[in-house]
Structure 1
C-alpha cells in the first residue's frame, strides 16, 4: 500500500490544497483561496455560480490524478484549512479596481488569465499583478473588458462622445471626469444623473458609460424595493446603475448618499446566533430618468446632472452596439491615457465643495486638457440648488424672510418662534393653509433647517444653532453681497 493510501483522505486533500493554493483572510475574517501565481481569489465557503473553491479543488485533484473524494473528506479538509488561515496576516480583496504599490492603481479586465491594467502617473501597462499586491474577487456582475488599445491619441474619447447624445461640451467633460474617477478606488465620485426629454437616449447613454468600466455585460437595473437588496447588488459589483427613476423615497435617497460616500452594513450571519456579517461599500453610482421630483439637499450635493438631447438621426440597436463594441478598446485606451495625464497634473483642491476629491480631479483635468470641468461642476451644483429650492416651500419661505434682514446682521430666535414667524410669512394676509409636509413643531423645523443648510448657504443665507442660559436658539444671517462695481467718472460736459 502506497504512502498516500495510508493517509486519511482529508490529509491528502489538505496537502494538495496547500501546495497549489494560497489561503488568507480578510479583515472581516472571511477566508479566501488564491491559486498560486494567479490574482483571482475565491471565498472557500462560497457556493456561487461563478465557481466555488470547492469545485476548483475537486477539478484540480481529478485532473492531476490525485483522486475523487467524498463530501465529508472535503469538508474536514476545508475546515482545517480555514482554521489555519485564521492565523495568517490579513489582505484585502477588491472588485474591478484596487490600490497598488508605489501610488499605482489596478483595473481588473475580468479575464480568465488574470491580465489587468496597472495605472501609474508615469503610464499604464497590461500585466498580471503580483497576488500579494492585488487580489481580485469575481462575481456574476464582473464582466470581461477587452484589452485596451495603445497610442490612441485621444481618438476613443471623441468616438464615445459621437455615440452619446450629450447636450453640450460642459456635460461631456463632466462625463469624462466621472469615468476617470471610476478608475480610482480611493476617490468618491458624485452620481451622474442622466436626464433629458423622452427619446434622448438616457438608458443607452447610461449603458455606454457603464460598459466602459464593466464590459459589454454591464447593464442598468431597476431600483430594488428594499435597501437590503440594493446593498447586495452594490457590494457584488463596481458601478451600480439604476434606470428610469420616476420618484425617490427618503429611504432610497439616504441609501444613495451612503453608496456614493461609503457606509457599512451589518446583519446577523446565517446559521449563527451571535456572529455578524459586515459589508463595507463605496461605489460609483449612475442614475437615469426624466424627473424624480423633489431632490433632498444631501443627495443634491452628491449628484452630477448630465443632460442629453434627442438625436436628429436614429440608428438601430444592432448597428449602434456593434459600433460601440468595435470602438470599446480604443475608448478604454484613450480613457487610460487621459487618466495618466490627469493623475500627473498638479492642481489645488477646492475647499468649498462637498465632494472635494472629485472637485480636485476636475481641477487636474482642467490643468491637463483645459476642458473647464471645474466651472462646469460648480454650475451643475448651482442648478441642483435651484431644483432643491423650487421643490421645497420651506426653503423658499426662509429666503423670502432673509431678504428682509440687513446684510451681515444675525437674527436669533428659538425654533418655535421661527416656526411661528415662517408660518405667518407663508400664510400671508390671505391666510393660506400650510402645505402638506410643513414642520409641525420647532424640533422638526430645526432638523429641516439643518438639512437645508448647504442649499441656503449657496444662496447667501447662513443657518446656525446653539445654546445659551435661556435655552437653545436658531440663528439666521444674510451674507453681505459683493460690493457694486464702481461707476466710471463721467467727463465734464462742455
Structure 2
C-alpha cells in the first residue's frame, strides 16, 4: 500500500474516539468526553496526571488494537473533536449532586461503575443514570460512598447522633436540616459553624458530617489565604469544610457569602488577549473553630451555629472511625429516607428570613418529624445578631440612640449629619477617642449602615436611604409594634 493510501493517524484516532465516546460542551464552552453508556464525563483538555481523557483514549486505542500514536497525531485529533463538539447542544456537568427528570435528584456514589442514588418523590433507588440526563464530573476530591441500606427505620440517624457531641436536641435538628439540604442541588444552605470548648470534637464532628456526603476520603482543610484559592478548592468538590478558623478577613467573609448563596466569577482565559471564561459556583460550606472574632452581618445571616460539648467518655480515633465506617451505609440510607419524607411534607415558607429556602426546608422537616428545626434556626439567627452587635461599636451606638426614640418615630438627616451625631454620642461627655475603624465620612457611614440593616432591623431599628431636592439622606425609624389581633369570643 502506498503512503497516499494509508489513513492518517489523526483520522484513525478521530474515528475511534467518535465511535466510543460522546463529546459535548457546557455553557462556558468547555468540551467534555463521555464514554458511551457511562455517566462520568472528563474535560478533553484535562492535563491531570491520572484519569484524563487523553490517557483513557490512548489506553483504549492500544487495548483495542488500533495502535500507539505520537503526541502530534493525538493533538490534531483532539483539536478537530473539540471544534466539532462546539457545534453541539450544551449540557451541564455536576459534582456529587444533580437534578434529574421528573423532579428527581441524583447523588453520585463515586463508584467506577457509575451507580448513583436517584431520589424521587416516592422514594429512592440505586441506578446508573442515563448519560443524557446526568453527567458527573469527578476530581481527586470525589470520594466513593458505600451503597446505602434500605428500610433503616431511622436507625442511622440515631447512630450518627450518638457519635456526635451535639449540645442540644435543637442543634441535632439543625444538623439534620443541613444534611438534607446538601442533597438538594438548587437549595442554598447556610454554613454550619461547629463551635464549643477545646476537646469538644469539633473537627471530628465536622468530618462525620461531610463524610456522609463525600465518603471516607472527605476531610477538613486549612482556610485558604485568598479568595482565588478558596474558589479553586470549592470548585473541585461539593462540600467544602474549613477547619480551626480563628479569624476571617473581610475579603474571605465576602467570598464565603458568595459561595453559600451563589455567584459568578469572570476571568481572562490563559494564553489569550481578550477571551474570558465564567466560573459559577454555589456550594455547601462547613466551618469549625472556637471563635472567629467579629462576624460581619451579611455572613452572620448565612451561618448555622452548631454547638458541641465535651464527651463524657473518650475513645481512640481508631475505634471511633472503625465504628463510623461500619455504620455509614445505614446512616446514608436513613438520611435518604428522611430526605424523601421532608420533600413530600407541605409547609409555609417563612419569607422574612434571609435564607428563605433553608427556612422552608426546616419547616418541612418539622412537618415530617416534629423536631422544631425552624424555631431553632430562628433562635440561632438571634444569637448571631447579638454576636454582630457585640463586635460592632457603630451598631451599639445606633441602638443607644434608637433607645431614646419614641415608638413610631422617624428621624432624617444627611449621612454627614448622622456621622457627627453618632460620633458625639459615642464620645460622650468623657470625649472618648473614636475607635479604630469608625466611619470617617458620610459615605462610609452610609455603606456601613446598609450592611448593618438586617441586624438593626432584628432589634427594631429600620435604616432607609433616599434623596430629595436638597440631597441624600438617611432615615432611622423605630416602628411601633404591630397590634395583636383580638381573638373572636367562643360560643
Q: Is TM-score (shorter-chain normalized) higher than 0.5? A: yes
Partner of 1:156, secondary structure, is helix
CA gap of 1:5–1:240, structure 2 versus 1, over 3 A, is farther
SS of 2:146 mapped into structure 1: coil
Q: Which residue of 2 aligns with 1:271?
A: 271
C-alpha contact (below 8 Å) 1:4/1:12 kept by paired residues: no
Task: State the match for 2:418 in structure 1.
Answer: 418
Q: 1:88 to 1:482 in 2, by over 3 A?
A: closer
SS at match of 1:298: helix
Partner of 1:107: 107
Q: What is the match of residue 409 of structure 1?
A: 409
1:49 shift after superposition: 3.0
- CA distance change for structure 1 residues 6 and 339 in 2, over 3 Å: closer, same or farther? same
Unaligned runs of 5+ in 2: 487-491
Equivalence map 1:218-367=2 (5 Å): 218-367=218-367
1:220/1:243 contact within 8 Å kept = yes
Counterpart of 2:164?
A: 164
Q: Number of aligned residue pairs: give it.
A: 486
Query: Which moves more between the two structures, 432-441 or 15-24?
Result: 432-441
With structure 2 as the length reference, what TM-score do the two structures score?
0.97
Q: Could you tell me the TM-score, scaled by structure 1's length? A: 0.97
Residues 339, 50 of structure 1: CA spacing in aligned structure 2 closer, same or farther, 3 A cutoff?
farther
1:88 aligns to what SS in structure 2?
coil
Distance 1:204 1:475 in 2: 47
CA-CA distance at 1:482 after TM superposition: 5.7
Looking at structure 1, the residues matched to 179 and 49 of structure 2 have their Cα atoms a distance apart, in angstroms, of 30
5 Å-filtered alignment, 1:67-78, equals: 67-78=67-78
Distance 1:254 1:4, change over 3 A: farther
1:374 positional shift: 0.4
| Equivalent in the alignment of 1:194 | 194
Equivalent position of 1:46 in the other structure: 46
Which residue of structure 2 aligns with residue 29 of structure 1?
A: 29
Match of 2:489 in 1: none
Q: Given the alignment of the two structures, is residue 88 of structure 1 paired with residue 88 of structure 2, yes or no?
A: yes
Partner of 2:62: 62
Q: Find the aligned partners of 2:471 and 2:266 in 1 and give their Cα distance.
A: 38
Indicate the SS of the match to 2:14: helix
Label 1:2 to 1:139 Cα distance change in 2 as closer, same or farther (>3 A). Answer: farther
**Does residue 437 of the first structure (1) align with residue 446 of the second (2)?**
no
> Partners of 2:344 and 2:400 in 1: how far apart?
46
Structure 1 alignment gaps of length 5 or more: 487-494
How many Å separate the matches in 1 of 2:480 and 2:226? 45
The structural deviation recorded for 1:277 is 2.6
* CA distance in 2: counterparts of 1:210 and 1:29, whole angstroms: 31
